[in-house]
Structure 1
Amino acid sequence: MKLTTSLYLAVFVLALIHTFLASYIKTLDSRFPNYKRFIHLITEIELIFPLWSLVLCLLMLLFEGQNKLIHYLHSLDFTEPLFVIAIMTIAGTKPILTFVENIIIFFVQKHIVKPAISIYFLTLTLLPLLGSFITEPAAMTISAIILKETLFPRIQSEKLRYMMLSILFVNVSIGGALTPFAAPPILMVANTWHWDMSFMLSTFAIKILTIVVMNTLLGFLLFKKEFYTMDNTLTLSYKKVSLGVVVTHVIFMILVILTSHDLTLFVGILIVFIVFTHIYAIHQERLMLREASFVGLFLTGLILIGSQQTWWLSTALTSLTTIQVYLGATLLTAITDNAALTYLGSLLANPSDEFKLSLVKGAIAGGGLTLIANAPNPIGATILKRFFNQEKIKPFLLLKYALLPTIITLLGLVI
């Protein structure tokens, strides 16, 4: 094995270890207050792979020279990360989010059941499924905000908070898989494996709809008594939003989706959209450019590091049975982002259809096991963590309560 090959593998392994230990490293900020900003920087989940990709580039420059590094960078395709930035920026705008919130409020005000129960079911079923169209991070943001403003302040049981959070994480992870552009683990393989909208709907739609409802119903049945005794004096009112601006934003989203394979076109559309938001700033809030760029940077770092792993990956993965790939992807997702696994799978030469489906299904099924398992999870955790004891979400407890909805998801995706 060449020295450089070993070094690039070491960078990949260190990036995984760094990701897994990020939450523990973050606790050091109280012991080293002078380095608090630096510690927070190196523990941002989305920035870990980009940081280690810089290390890989420096090693390549040192050991193989400038020409090799430039050739390597030019050989890679960064269309998907840039598309994620574009679609997240547009989908995460105030008009889109407010319009979706108003849809939830409309159904809650129908008084079919108690408001607390309505909010619970709509937030954990409808919103995760809408994530297939407004993107998973946007769906996670709206869901967490609604829970923060309604149910979480009224919940007495810490167990119920963990159960709801774990169901939210699992449902968002699979709810974004109805389309080829909304969920990072799907996006990273859709173009390579030619998975279009028709394929996604025919392959995943019925199963995902069933699983999302079952997971949510399970949580309700386990804590039914608390839901019925919960304070139901919830006052939800529609938020003002310009329908014309919403329609314009949706048109921009559609244009970006339709041009998703043409970097020049969708970046140009994004620039026009940013100009539009400045012209109609009265209808806007801060764009999600920071959050979108972080996710895009993560995927970029993943491509830079992952593209050097094909030499061992093909041997390791192709020797596994379909069920081993399925369960292995679920377990590995717990210690690394699920998009990392699917991207590595997309590097294999001519994998079977069974392998592709097993890898992707396993990756999205495990998206709720930990905070790092799926890119949108840290968003939901940041919004809701103040309701947990000591304002911390404990990894072991999250894993414990995520096991049951994850098992239901695993079974549902293969039946």
Structure 2
Amino acid sequence: VFIEPMFVVVIMAIASTRPVVKVSEQLLGLAAGLGGHSKAAWWFSILLIAPLLGSFITEPAAMTIAALLLANQFYKHRPSSGFAYATIGLLFVNVSVGGTLTHFAAPPVLMVATTWDWSMGFMAANFGWKAALGILISNVLYFIVFRGQFAKMGKDEVKEASEEFHTPEVQKLKPGQMSHDEFEAMWAERETTIPWWVTLVHLCFLAWTVYTAHYPALFIPGLLFFLGFMSLTATHQNKVELKGPIMVGFFLGGLIIHGGLQAWWIAPVLGSLAEVPLMLTATILTAFNDNAAITYLATLVPNLAEASKYAVVAGAVTGGGLTVIANAPNPAGQSILGRFFEHGVNPLKLLIAALVPTIIMGLCFMIL
């Protein structure tokens, strides 16, 4: 019964490890290198590739990587409020739809994939390429609007580098002079090289988990072996993060336990709507609920038409960037980027910033 929540815990735990995160960052760096590692190239590659990468390393891991890179490359330069909100709104929408290339990375898809027998090929053919196109269109549009910001931030970075060059070097603390938290933070941010074979083993465990997604008796022992491997290669690892994955797993488990109690009203509502109204309803409901909750409730509707299944999932992933609570990875992005916004991320401004890419994605799913 709880196969999907258990799978999410395992896949998120593996995908958020240092070797997987680093290889993902390197891929983004290669893409940014095509544009000379300029600010514009980094912005475009982060907001294009990271969300699509979420289809393979899971959306929460993609959100974490993208948010960290955006913080380092852009938000620390204190961009305008418009650019800051446009970027985080675009990030939330792109990550929400970017996980639809596969059937295991996005929680709203994962909750229906087994019940409706949706495979990776089905997702890529019916959702993935449309999501990729929508992400590209949204990125190009926002890039055109804010292209002046990139040149300004590039100049500011050169100025900061010059000032730092003329500033006397601050004496670095030794590990014995640091608090435990300071040492943990320094250790997590180290830039030491990870051996290729360590990264390869991590990717193999990731692939094993995906391959055995329907068999907890196989992927849970796989996690135990993986934790053992992490212990053996601790020099190249960061502290394994299980809190986030377990919390998401409990949330999805709660949907399974309590979701059935909502069938008395959700079944008539979803079953009575045509495709377009159903998609719009799912998009709006997602803004006030988690999109995985919307799609799970749709599985409780008996004999739901194939077109309606498509509409409810398309609507749920489309609306995943409108609010922080609309998609499970959004709080992770907010926790990383929220400090760059005065008084935190404003819900109304986030909604406005995410509205345009949400409409673009909705049109892509409706028309194409």
Other structure's SS at 1:367 match: helix
| Correspondence for 1:174 | 97
Which residue, out of 274, 280, 283, partners 1:330?
283
Q: Does 1:349 align with 2:302?
A: yes
Structure 2: give runs of 5+ residues left out of the alignment.
162-189
**Residues 1:158 and 2:110 aligned together:** no
Give the conservation status (yes or no) of the 8 Å contact 1:88–1:138: yes
- Contact 1:181-1:187 at 8 Å conserved across structures: yes
Which of 19, 23, 30 aligns to 1:95? It is 19
Equivalent residue number for residue 199 of structure 2: 246
**Matched-pair contact (CA < 8 Å) for 1:174–1:365:** yes
Distance 1:290 1:341 in 2: 24
The structure 2 residue matched to 1:278, chosen from 231, 234, 240, is 231
| 1:335-384 per-position Cα deviation (integer Å, ceiling 9, x unaligned) | 00000000000112121001100000000000000000000000000001
The corresponding residue for 2:356 is 404
Inter-partner Cα distance in structure 1 for 2:28 and 2:37 = 14
1:60-108, Cα deviation, whole Å (9 max, x unpaired)? xxxxxxxxxxxxxxxxx10000000000001110000011112222333
| TM-fit CA distance, 1:135 | 0.3
What is the identity percentage for the equivalent residue pairs of Structure 1 and Structure 2? 42
2:35 is aligned with 1:83? no
Cα deviations by residue, 1:156-209 (Å, 9 ceiling, x for unpaired)? 301100000000000000000100000000000000000001111111222111
Counterparts of 1:298 and 1:131 in 2: how far apart (Å)? 20
Aligned counterparts of 1:221 and 1:288: Cα–Cα separation in 2: 38
AA of the residue aligned to 2:311: S
Work out whether residues 141 and 380 of structure 1, in 8 Å CA contact, stay in contact via their aligned partners in 2. yes
Q: CA deviation at 1:239?
A: 5.8
Tell me, yes or no, if the aligned pair for 1:87 and 1:135 is still in contact at 8 Å: yes
Matches within 5 A, 1:152-231: 152-231=75-154
Q: Distance in 1 between matches of 2:84 and 2:49?
A: 19
Give the letter for the 1:79 counterpart. I
Q: CA deviation at 1:150?
A: 1.2
CA distance in 2, matches of 1:107, 1:322: 38
Q: Secondary structure at the match of 1:230?
A: helix
Give how far 1:280 is off: 1.0
Which structure 1 segments of 5+ residues have no match?
1-76
**TM-score (normalised: structure 1):** 0.79
TM-score, normalised by the number of residues in structure 2: 0.88
- Alpha-carbon contact 2:98-2:128 (below 8 Å) kept: no
One-letter code of the match for 1:409? M
- CA deviation string 1:111-135 (max 9, x = no partner): x256100110011000100000000
CA-based RMSD of the aligned residues comes to: 1.5
- Count of matched residue positions in the alignment of Structure 1 and Structure 2: 336
Q: Distance in 2 between matches of 1:180 and 1:311?
A: 28
**Which residue is equivalent to 1:340?**
293
Indicate the SS of the match to 1:277: helix
The whole-number CA distance in structure 2 between the counterparts of 1:349 and 1:109 is 50
CA offset at residue 275 of structure 1?
1.2
Q: Specify the alignment match of 1:25 in structure 2.
A: none
Runs of 4+ displaced beyond 3 Å: 232-235
Secondary structure at 1:389 match in 2: coil
